[in-house]
Amino acid sequence: MTQRVALWQNIKDLLHGEIVQGVWRAGARLPTEADLALRFDVNRHTVRRALQALAEEGLVQPRRGAGVFVRAAPLRYPIGPRTRFRQNLLSAGRTPSRKLLHLSQQSASSAEAKALGLVPGAPVHVMEAISFADDLPISLARSCFCATRFPELGVALRDTNSVTGALANVGVADYLRKSTRLTGQNADPVQARHLQLSTGDALILSEAINVDVTGRPVEFGRTYFVGERVELVLESEDNAAFVT
């Protein structure tokens, strides 16, 4: 029944090798425990023991009901005066993409109005989107723009699927990060689903204000970064503040 080396140890080593060798890529889902049990012709418990060891090594991460996923090395994400999502990912050698969730015109909340220098209730474009690096969700963002100043921005955001591109289309050739506030959050079930996480997983909420070259606010963004998939790197000493 038992060998000199435990069965689960062999399976662990084998899967470890396959992950390191790239058979299962970062972020990929492993076959189900049942499938692995079939493949190795062992009981599901034995596979679970192997997966548990891999999880303790930090190589893999199980999500109840979803599967077991290969952990990706965190993405270095510089935050500075010229923070650009696409540029950040390209220079990290990752492929950026965005999935638009919502795009609508609403009346600004008090926080949004204050950030953008508007009166409460003023019309704003609101965009919600998920950002991906190599098809792995990195962040969940909600961006606000003044709809009075940029009436055509909604269309531009939908067409370009890029904040930088859309702002360029409406006459804002450049913008700068004015302030960033970072806080820690736990993913609620909806966020977890969108970001392919488990409920309660750590998120970093970034509340940022971007201004044009004249210093006038153009965007107020609230972005939830996946804590384990990004490493936010602060590059400038402006108004960034850390809050737990």
Report the distance separating Cα 233 and Cα 168, nearest Å: 26
Comparing CA positions, the residue from 85, 88, 123, 97 lying closest to residue 221 is: 85
Q: How far is the CB of 66 from DNA (least distance, A)?
A: 4
Given the complex with DNA, which of 12 and 177 has the nearer CB atom?
12
Given the complex with DNA, which of 192 and 232 has the nearer CB atom?
192
Comparing CA positions, the residue from 151, 143, 139 lying closest to residue 102 is: 143
Q: How far is the CB of 16 from DNA (least distance, A)?
A: 15
Q: How far is the CB of 12 from DNA (least distance, A)?
A: 10
Given the complex with DNA, which of 63 and 84 has the nearer CB atom?
63
Handedness of CA 154, 187, 67, 26 (dihedral sign): positive
Q: Helix H segments across 81-182?
A: 85-91, 110-116, 153-160, 163-169
Given the complex with DNA, which of 41 and 237 has the nearer CB atom?
41
Contacts of 174 (CB under 8 A, 6+ apart): 212, 213
Q: How far is the CB of 33 from DNA (least distance, A)?
A: 4
The strand pair at 241-243 and 176-186 is best described as: parallel
Residues in contact with DNA by CB under 7 A are 1-4, 6-9, 30, 32-34, 41-46, 48-49, 51, 62-68, 189, 192-193, 196, 198-199
Integer-rounded Cα Rg, in Å, for the chain is 22
Q: How far is the CB of 51 from DNA (least distance, A)?
A: 7
Given the complex with DNA, which of 29 and 158 has the nearer CB atom?
29
Report the distance separating Cα 159 and Cα 92, nearest Å: 25
Given the complex with DNA, which of 146 and 187 has the nearer CB atom?
187
Amino acid type, 165:
G
Q: How far is the CB of 106 from DNA (least distance, A)?
A: 22
